[in-house]
Structure 1
Amino acid sequence: MGKEIRVDIETLRAADSDRQKVADQLRAALDEGRLSLHEYDERVRDAYGAKTYKELLVLVADLPRPGLSASEVAARQLAERRREARRLPPALIVLWTIWATLAVVNLVVFALVVASTDGTIYPWPAWLLVPGAALGAVTVGVQAIRNQKH
Structure 2
Amino acid sequence: MDGRDGMRAADADRAAVADRLRVALDEGRLDLHEYDERLQRAYAARTYAELEPLLSDLPPVTPAQRSTLAPAAPQSVGVGDQATAVAEGVTARWLAEVWFPYVKVIAVVVTIWAVTSLLSQDLLYFWPAWVAGPWGAVLVVRTVTGLSAGEPRRQAIERERKRQRKQAKRERQAELRAGEADERDDPPAAG
**TM-score interval for Structure 1 and Structure 2 normalised by the shorter chain:** 0.3 to 0.5
Q: Which has the larger radius of gyration?
A: 1
Q: TM-score, normalised by structure 1?
A: 0.41
